[in-house]
Amino acid sequence: MGNLITNEKTGEYLQLSNAGTSVLMSVLLLAGSDVAATPWELDFVAWLADHDQNLLGLGMSGFDINDIAWTKSDFIEQKRFVLRVIHKAMKRHRWEALPYEPPFVLESLTKLRDMIDHYQVTHVGSEKPWSIEFKPEEPLKCPVHQIYEHALGCFICLDN
């Protein structure tokens, strides 16, 4: 089993093992939690945290790039933020907080970056709300990993 991250608008995809998915989300959360400031950015990080296989089940946390709650009016800023999170993760931002060394995640981050880069404002349909099933009432950071938690706790703590 595993997970698939797709960009159906361009036909691109990233196939990940369950472990690879957890590692990718962990490094994105480490980076995103440190730079998210606006409500949309905080919701993006909460949306990432919501893709926890401990909540959804193994092989159930894939997504399509179009599932991100993009808006046409703010698309350029939103895309710039997502790419900034990916670039920060590619620079190994706070990877020392992980209880392991992520061996292959740079390849996954590169592919994800390319998929986001190829996603265009013309791909955005009608605006949709975030689909965040396990969003806490208030953004809270894990005291150990300093990442935004989902309603049931820390993505990284639950993954160990």
pLDDT in tens, 137-146: 777 788 889 8
Q: Which of 118-122, 128-132, 151-155 has the highest mean pLDDT?
A: 118-122
- pLDDT digits over 34-53, tens only? 999 999 999 999 889 888 76
- Asked whether the predicted pLDDT for residue 60 surpasses 60, the reply is no
The residue among 118, 116, 137 whose CA lies nearest residue 67 is: 116
For the chain, what percent of residues have pLDDT higher than 90? Answer: 58
What is the arithmetic mean of pLDDT over 83-110? 94
Q: Residue 120's pLDDT band (boundaries 50, 70, 90)?
A: very high
Q: Residue 135's pLDDT band (boundaries 50, 70, 90)?
A: low
pLDDT attached to residue 55? 63
Question: Would you say 97 and 146 are in contact if contact means Cβ atoms under 8 Å apart?
Answer: yes
Count structural domains, the chain.
Answer: 1
The residue among 39, 61, 47, 65 whose CA lies nearest residue 121 is: 65
pLDDT attached to residue 156? 81
Counted residue by residue, the chain has a size of 160
pLDDT attached to residue 152? 80
- Asked whether the predicted pLDDT for residue 57 surpasses 50, the reply is no
Q: Residue 149's pLDDT band (boundaries 50, 70, 90)?
A: confident
| C-alpha span between 1 and 6 (Å, rounded) | 16
- Asked whether the predicted pLDDT for residue 1 surpasses 70, the reply is no
| C-alpha span between 8 and 137 (Å, rounded) | 32
pLDDT attached to residue 43? 92
Q: How would you classify the pairing of strands 63-64 and 3-7?
A: parallel
Domain enclosing residue 72, as ranges:
3-159
